[in-house]
Chains A and B, each alone.
Chain A
Protein backbone atom coordinates (compact mmCIF):
# COMPACT_ATOMS: atom_id res chain seq x y z
CA UNK A 1 0.00 0.00 0.00
CA UNK A 2 1.11 3.54 -0.74
CA UNK A 3 1.82 5.48 2.40
CA UNK A 4 1.96 9.26 2.41
CA UNK A 5 2.63 10.90 5.76
CA UNK A 6 2.48 14.53 6.78
CA UNK A 7 4.49 15.95 9.64
CA UNK A 8 1.60 17.42 11.62
CA UNK A 9 -2.13 16.83 11.73
CA UNK A 10 -2.84 20.18 13.40
CA UNK A 11 -0.74 23.33 13.48
CA UNK A 12 -1.35 26.78 14.94
CA UNK A 13 0.93 29.62 13.87
CA UNK A 14 0.98 33.37 14.23
CA UNK A 15 0.74 35.88 11.40
CA UNK A 16 4.18 36.55 9.92
CA UNK A 17 5.76 33.27 11.05
CA UNK A 18 7.60 31.04 8.61
CA UNK A 19 5.83 27.68 8.38
CA UNK A 20 7.15 24.37 7.08
CA UNK A 21 4.81 21.52 6.13
CA UNK A 22 6.56 18.23 5.43
CA UNK A 23 5.35 15.31 3.35
CA UNK A 24 7.01 11.92 2.94
CA UNK A 25 5.98 9.03 0.67
CA UNK A 26 7.40 5.53 0.79
CA UNK A 27 6.55 4.23 -2.70
CA UNK A 28 9.35 5.77 -4.72
CA UNK A 29 6.89 7.97 -6.62
CA UNK A 30 8.38 10.58 -8.93
CA UNK A 31 5.54 13.08 -8.74
CA UNK A 32 4.37 14.89 -5.61
CA UNK A 33 1.71 17.54 -5.06
CA UNK A 34 0.56 20.10 -2.51
CA UNK A 35 -3.10 21.13 -2.36
CA UNK A 36 -5.16 23.28 -0.10
CA UNK A 37 -8.76 22.44 0.66
CA UNK A 38 -11.37 24.97 1.71
CA UNK A 39 -15.10 24.30 2.20
CA UNK A 40 -17.04 24.48 -1.04
CA UNK A 41 -13.92 25.01 -3.16
CA UNK A 42 -12.68 21.45 -3.52
CA UNK A 43 -8.95 20.86 -3.87
CA UNK A 44 -6.76 23.57 -5.36
CA UNK A 45 -3.24 22.79 -6.52
CA UNK A 46 -0.51 24.94 -4.99
CA UNK A 47 2.67 23.35 -6.38
CA UNK A 48 3.72 20.18 -8.11
CA UNK A 49 7.07 18.42 -8.41
CA UNK A 50 7.96 16.13 -11.32
CA UNK A 51 11.10 14.86 -9.68
CA UNK A 52 13.88 15.80 -7.30
CA UNK A 53 14.74 19.51 -7.43
CA UNK A 54 11.97 20.12 -9.97
CA UNK A 55 8.86 22.15 -9.24
CA UNK A 56 6.01 23.74 -11.10
CA UNK A 57 3.38 26.25 -9.99
CA UNK A 58 -0.20 25.14 -9.68
CA UNK A 59 -3.31 27.29 -9.61
CA UNK A 60 -2.62 29.21 -6.38
CA UNK A 61 1.16 29.44 -5.73
CA UNK A 62 1.16 32.99 -4.33
CA UNK A 63 2.47 33.13 -0.77
CA UNK A 64 3.96 29.62 -0.96
CA UNK A 65 7.20 27.98 -1.99
CA UNK A 66 8.31 24.36 -2.10
CA UNK A 67 11.43 22.25 -1.78
CA UNK A 68 12.18 18.76 -3.10
CA UNK A 69 15.74 17.76 -2.20
CA UNK A 70 15.01 14.04 -1.88
CA UNK A 71 12.64 11.90 -3.90
CA UNK A 72 10.54 10.84 -0.93
CA UNK A 73 10.13 14.27 0.64
CA UNK A 74 8.24 17.36 -0.53
CA UNK A 75 8.06 20.44 1.67
CA UNK A 76 5.63 23.33 1.50
CA UNK A 77 6.85 26.63 2.91
CA UNK A 78 4.80 29.64 3.93
CA UNK A 79 7.41 32.40 4.05
CA UNK A 80 5.23 34.76 6.10
CA UNK A 81 1.97 33.16 7.21
CA UNK A 82 -1.22 35.15 6.85
CA UNK A 83 -4.71 34.51 8.20
CA UNK A 84 -6.03 33.77 4.70
CA UNK A 85 -3.71 30.76 4.61
CA UNK A 86 -5.72 29.08 7.34
CA UNK A 87 -6.79 25.89 5.60
CA UNK A 88 -6.43 22.13 5.28
CA UNK A 89 -3.23 21.23 3.39
CA UNK A 90 -3.05 17.93 1.57
CA UNK A 91 0.01 16.26 0.10
CA UNK A 92 -0.26 13.61 -2.62
CA UNK A 93 2.09 11.45 -4.65
CA UNK A 94 1.82 9.63 -7.95
CA UNK A 95 3.89 7.25 -9.99
CA UNK A 96 5.11 8.73 -13.27
CA UNK A 97 2.92 7.67 -16.18
CA UNK A 98 -0.15 7.03 -14.03
CA UNK A 99 -3.02 9.33 -13.08
CA UNK A 100 -4.00 8.12 -9.61
CA UNK A 101 -2.82 10.35 -6.80
CA UNK A 102 -2.45 9.04 -3.25
CA UNK A 103 -3.02 11.42 -0.38
CA UNK A 104 -1.68 11.96 3.10
CA UNK A 105 -4.00 12.59 6.07
CA UNK A 106 -3.72 16.37 5.78
CA UNK A 107 -2.48 19.18 8.02
CA UNK A 108 -5.07 21.58 9.37
CA UNK A 109 -3.24 24.89 9.69
CA UNK A 110 -4.65 27.80 11.65
CA UNK A 111 -2.95 31.19 11.38
CA UNK A 112 -3.96 33.64 14.10
Chain B
Protein backbone atom coordinates (compact mmCIF):
# COMPACT_ATOMS: atom_id res chain seq x y z
CA UNK B 1 0.00 0.00 0.00
CA UNK B 2 0.92 3.65 -0.03
CA UNK B 3 3.30 5.10 2.50
CA UNK B 4 4.31 8.58 3.42
CA UNK B 5 7.98 9.61 3.28
CA UNK B 6 8.84 10.69 6.78
CA UNK B 7 12.21 12.21 7.60
CA UNK B 8 14.53 12.09 9.29
CA UNK B 9 14.42 8.45 10.41
CA UNK B 10 16.10 9.35 13.68
CA UNK B 11 17.51 12.39 15.40
CA UNK B 12 20.07 12.84 18.16
CA UNK B 13 19.56 16.18 19.83
CA UNK B 14 20.71 18.10 22.88
CA UNK B 15 18.18 19.01 25.51
CA UNK B 16 16.93 22.51 24.79
CA UNK B 17 17.33 22.26 21.02
CA UNK B 18 14.51 22.75 18.55
CA UNK B 19 13.46 19.76 16.42
CA UNK B 20 11.91 19.61 12.96
CA UNK B 21 10.53 16.65 11.06
CA UNK B 22 8.34 16.29 8.01
CA UNK B 23 6.23 13.99 5.89
CA UNK B 24 5.83 14.18 2.14
CA UNK B 25 3.83 12.32 -0.46
CA UNK B 26 2.96 12.46 -4.13
CA UNK B 27 -0.73 12.25 -3.15
CA UNK B 28 -3.07 14.96 -1.90
CA UNK B 29 -4.37 14.58 1.64
CA UNK B 30 -7.46 16.00 3.34
CA UNK B 31 -6.21 15.54 6.89
CA UNK B 32 -2.84 15.20 8.59
CA UNK B 33 -2.37 13.71 12.04
CA UNK B 34 0.75 13.64 14.20
CA UNK B 35 1.21 10.96 16.86
CA UNK B 36 3.85 10.21 19.47
CA UNK B 37 4.66 6.71 20.69
CA UNK B 38 6.53 6.14 23.92
CA UNK B 39 8.50 2.88 24.27
CA UNK B 40 6.16 -0.07 24.88
CA UNK B 41 3.01 2.01 24.46
CA UNK B 42 0.49 2.79 21.73
CA UNK B 43 0.63 6.02 19.69
CA UNK B 44 -1.01 9.08 21.23
CA UNK B 45 -2.52 11.81 19.08
CA UNK B 46 -0.65 15.13 19.35
CA UNK B 47 -2.09 17.38 16.65
CA UNK B 48 -4.72 17.11 13.91
CA UNK B 49 -4.71 19.36 10.81
CA UNK B 50 -7.68 19.78 8.50
CA UNK B 51 -6.97 22.63 6.06
CA UNK B 52 -4.13 23.46 3.68
CA UNK B 53 -1.87 26.08 5.24
CA UNK B 54 -3.22 25.44 8.74
CA UNK B 55 -0.73 25.97 11.58
CA UNK B 56 -1.67 24.42 14.92
CA UNK B 57 0.16 24.37 18.25
CA UNK B 58 -0.02 22.07 21.26
CA UNK B 59 2.30 23.42 23.93
CA UNK B 60 5.85 23.31 22.57
CA UNK B 61 4.68 21.43 19.47
CA UNK B 62 3.66 23.15 16.26
CA UNK B 63 2.47 21.40 13.11
CA UNK B 64 1.63 22.71 9.67
CA UNK B 65 -0.52 21.38 6.84
CA UNK B 66 1.46 22.09 3.67
CA UNK B 67 -0.11 24.45 1.17
CA UNK B 68 0.14 21.84 -1.63
CA UNK B 69 -1.67 19.33 0.66
CA UNK B 70 1.11 16.85 -0.06
CA UNK B 71 3.20 17.47 3.03
CA UNK B 72 3.17 18.32 6.71
CA UNK B 73 5.75 19.48 9.26
CA UNK B 74 6.13 19.07 13.00
CA UNK B 75 8.35 21.28 15.13
CA UNK B 76 9.23 20.81 18.79
CA UNK B 77 10.74 23.78 20.56
CA UNK B 78 13.18 23.58 23.49
CA UNK B 79 13.23 19.79 23.68
CA UNK B 80 13.16 18.06 27.06
CA UNK B 81 13.95 14.43 28.01
CA UNK B 82 10.28 13.34 27.93
CA UNK B 83 10.14 14.25 24.22
CA UNK B 84 12.04 11.02 23.53
CA UNK B 85 10.00 8.56 21.49
CA UNK B 86 8.85 7.87 17.96
CA UNK B 87 6.79 10.46 16.11
CA UNK B 88 4.46 9.33 13.34
CA UNK B 89 2.63 11.29 10.71
CA UNK B 90 -0.57 9.91 9.22
CA UNK B 91 -2.62 11.27 6.34
CA UNK B 92 -6.19 10.76 5.19
CA UNK B 93 -6.65 10.58 1.44
CA UNK B 94 -9.65 12.27 -0.10
CA UNK B 95 -10.89 9.07 -1.68
CA UNK B 96 -10.72 6.92 1.46
CA UNK B 97 -13.30 7.09 4.19
CA UNK B 98 -11.45 5.06 6.76
CA UNK B 99 -7.83 4.26 6.08
CA UNK B 100 -4.93 6.37 7.29
CA UNK B 101 -1.63 6.29 5.41
CA UNK B 102 1.29 6.17 7.86
CA UNK B 103 4.85 7.40 7.82
CA UNK B 104 7.58 5.06 9.09
CA UNK B 105 8.31 7.28 12.07
CA UNK B 106 11.02 9.62 13.36
CA UNK B 107 12.86 8.38 16.43
CA UNK B 108 13.92 11.18 18.73
CA UNK B 109 16.86 10.51 21.02
CA UNK B 110 18.28 13.03 23.45
CA UNK B 111 22.03 13.03 23.91
CA UNK B 112 23.05 12.66 27.54
Q: Interface residues, chain A, CB within 8 Å of chain B?
A: 4, 9, 31, 40-45, 48, 50, 56, 58-59, 90, 92, 99-106, 108
Task: Say whether B65 faces chain A, with CB atoms less than 8 Å apart.
Answer: no
Report how many residues on chain B are interfacial, defined by Cβ distance under 8 Å: 24
A sample of 11 inter-chain contacts (CB < 8 A) reads A40-B9, A42-B6, A42-B88, A42-B105, A43-B102, A44-B102, A100-B48, A101-B90, A102-B45, A103-B42, A108-B40
Name the contact of B41 in the complex, choosing from A43, A44, A92, A106 (C-beta under 8 A).
A106
Query: Could you give, for residues 43-61 of chain B, a 1 whenever the CB lies within 8 Å of some chain A CB and a 0 otherwise?
Result: 1110010000000000000
> When chains A and B are docked, how far (Å) is the Cα of A106 from the Cα of B44?
12
Least CB distance, B92 to chain A, in whole angstroms: 5
Closest to B43 in A: A103
Are A99 and B42 touching (Cβ within 8 A)? no
Are A99 and B33 touching (Cβ within 8 A)? yes
Q: Given A42-B88, A100-B48, A59 and B105 touching (CB < 8 A)?
A: no
Are A43 and B88 touching (Cβ within 8 A)? yes
Closest to A90 in B: B42
> When chains A and B are docked, how far (Å) is the Cα of A11 from the Cα of B52?
43
Report chain B residues within 8 Å CB of A42. 3, 6, 88, 102-105
Q: Given A58-B99, A99-B33, A90 and B43 touching (CB < 8 A)?
A: yes
Given contacts A43-B102, A103-B42, could you give 19 more A-B pairs where the C-beta distance is less than 8 Å? A4-B42, A31-B98, A40-B9, A40-B104, A42-B3, A42-B102, A43-B90, A48-B98, A56-B98, A92-B42, A99-B31, A99-B33, A100-B33, A101-B90, A103-B43, A104-B42, A106-B40, A106-B41, A106-B42
Least CB distance, A41 to chain B, in whole angstroms: 7
Least CB distance, B42 to chain A, in whole angstroms: 3
Closest to B48 in A: A100
Report chain A residues within 8 Å CB of B100. 45, 99, 101
